Amino acid sequence: MSITTRILGYFAFFWVFVLCAGTFVQYWDFNHDSYFLHIKQKAVETGWYLPAFYCHIIGSSVILLAGFFQFSKKVYNNKALHRTLGKLYVFGVLFFAAPGAYIMTLL
């Protein structure tokens, strides 16, 4: 792997990490004063929206990190770790990110 590709990979990982952390920290205190939640105030009042929203935000952050490491040659060569991260990725998408997003679209 060339040095340019490696640097771009690290930059991409850092950028995804910053974006995930920024989104996660914005809603970490479960404060409903954010602009996005004010737009969805009617949906928030149903009681179903916030659990789905937090499930989606937290699950997606973990999924993005697990998915990123799947492209590492070291992880790929360690078959047990590669399978575990792959299972975490699929489990997270099927049981956290996708259902959370689906419930949010219904409300």
Q: What is the DSSP letter of 34?
A: S
CA separation for the pair 12, 97 (Å, rounded)? 21
List all residues 6 or more positions away from 89 whose beta carbon is below 8 Å from its beta carbon.
63, 66, 67, 70
For the chain, domain boundaries: 3-106
List all residues 6 or more positions away from 96 whose beta carbon is below 8 Å from its beta carbon.
55, 56, 58, 59, 60, 62, 63
At residue 31, the pLDDT reads 66
Q: What is the pLDDT of residues 66-89, one digit of tens each?
A: 888 888 889 899 999 999 999 988
Model-wide pTM > 0.85: no
